[in-house]
Amino acid sequence: MSLLNILHYPDPRLRTKAKPVTQFGPELKQFGDDLLETMYAAPGIGLAATQVNVHQRIIAVDVSENRDEPYLLVNPELTLTGEQLESEEGCLSVPGIYEPVKRFEQIEVTAQDPMGNPMSFTANGLLAVCIQHECDHLDGKLFVDYLSSLKRTRIRKKLLKQQKASA
């Protein structure tokens, strides 16, 4: 296992649209495990391949309190249902920033595991929010895109200042 380097906003590589995975197997499983490991170490509840500069459609998620319910979703497809609810979100690529974002409260998920086995399930609450957030990353979208441009500019400046200071 190895820890991967997480890209930080406004790094333009975070805007890359990820390609569907076509090669399944042990190598992809290894990458998925590294993605989970990196997410747990951060610590975070979700991490998309895009955030570690790998532009393939795979995300890692674990919203459980005991950090023992990992999901590795390959080529995830979402059907959004229910109401839209607002909740506070953060992102490992936008460190230290938390802002309210509206998401669907329930989603139907179809995906594959890293070995290519199909799966489908219904997700609610925080799990649904987190999966929607991570799937956005695969399309080059960040939660700050849902905020006002004034707020986004402020966040951008703040993070660039931090990045300069730690460089």
User: Minimum distance from CB of 46 to Ni ion (Å)?
Assistant: 6
Does the annotation count 134 as an active-site position? yes
DSSP string, 26-70: HHHHHHHHHHHHHHHHTT-SEEEGGGGT--BSEEEE---TTS---
CB of 51: closest distance to Ni ion in angstroms?
A: 6
Selecting among 27, 37, 105, 134, the annotated active-site residue is 134
Q: How far is the C-alpha of 86 from the C-alpha of 68, rounded, in Å?
A: 26
By CB under 5 A, residue 91 contacts Ni ion: yes
CB 6 within 8 A of CB 90: no
Which residue is closest to Ni ion by CB? 91
Residue 9 or 31: the one with the smaller Cβ distance to Ni ion is: 9
Tell me the number of residues near Ni ion by CB under 5 A. Answer: 1
Spatial contact of 47 and 67, defined as CB atoms under 8 Å apart: no
For residues 91 and 138, which CB has a smaller minimum distance to Ni ion in the complex?
91
Looking at residue 14, its amino acid is: L
Judged by CB, which is closer to Ni ion: 91, or 109?
A: 91
- Report in angstroms how near the CB of residue 92 gets to Ni ion at its nearest: 6
Give the binding range for Ni ion (CB under 5 A) out of 6-14, 56-64, 88-96, 156-164: 88-96
Stretch in the footprint of Ni ion (CB under 5 A) among 68-76, 84-92, 114-122, 158-166: 84-92
Q: Are 71 and 110 in contact (CB under 8 A)?
A: no
- Give the integer Cα–Cα distance in Å for 105 and 84: 6
Map residue 126 onto helix, strand or coil.
Answer: helix
- Single-letter code of the amino acid located at 95: P
**CB closer to Ni ion, 61 vs 91:** 91
Residue 18 CB, nearest approach to Ni ion (Å):
13
Residues near Ni ion (CB under 5 A):
91
Residue numbers annotated as active site: 134
